[in-house]
Structure 1
């Protein structure tokens, strides 16, 4: 799964990177500890121009009476996304890109305490997670989820799932700007896409923020 990530690009950099028009209500950044249910920047196809807009990270199916009426859907599994009632329409019609500069996964020590690992691109290029989105409720609250797949070699030693990350040449297909066959994009990253290292346990708290969260710990365990 992907349950926490970092997004440290300025709005202007995201606009340039994705060739998008920015909404004026984007969430403040940078963020080194993006948590579920918060507002995150998302790229959608705007019918001729891409839009960079805020969405709630936590997909809400239309039948939820309240945001807490069912499970918190922050991820959608690539293997079942086209069949699950919650996701199948969005998978066909409402795909998006979720910008990130890195993400976290956890192992556990002998006492069961979570040990966080930070994954970042092996190059300087930011990440674009494959996502889906949907408006929910009478106020059309925009919500999104990150598509995940079985982990590739860079992530598998730490966790069995990873977020689907898309190369720039694949963005038009995922956003339905060109062609068909986006399902083939839902796969693990090739070897060497990510660097990883242990970080401080402070990131285990969803109330902690700051660039020190992605610093390697002084004492490796």
Structure 2
């Protein structure tokens, strides 16, 4: 199997040296950029398997880099983990809303970061059984092809939105807390933020509505969280 490729966009030289050594040891091919704009160009050219992205960068800040990657047809599905000393809730909500898949505050444990990288790579590769498709109330989720449609119209979802919608659609009618949804959508050892889930739900509702669906397909459960609307259709 080819080595998984990681692009680290980070301007702290000591940290990039440590991460390069660590991930090389674990069998990863590592590319480093200390500048946001240069890192964006490298991501667009090399198409790495995962990007580790700092927020405070020269050239272009990490949020703008994330926004550009998610807007690009060739880079929109690359998993992004933000690694930053900015751990305020507002910063994290903005990062997730722009399409970041996970958020790691400095300082962090390298083993936990490796775990997060592996989890995102598994999801990006669509490791599941052939024919693993969920079809309910017009929403069709194909995990193998990593594709979601509503009434045959494709939905352009970020990887996190994909996993969040899949969690809801697989168990229609079940009320999930925000913490449960965050754990399902982001993975283990992630920072759980209630407002982060609210941002994702708002975006999912907008995309379902744009495709001709109804915003109330995802219902708010007061004081708990959210659920996918249960109707008379049978899940397949």
**TM exceeding 0.5:** no
| TM-score with structure 2 setting the length | 0.26
| TM-score with structure 1 setting the length | 0.27
CA radius of gyration, larger in: 2
- Structure with the higher fraction of residues in helix conformation: 2
- Structure with the higher fraction of residues in strand conformation: 1
The higher relative CO (CA closer than 8 Å, separation ≥ 6) is in 1
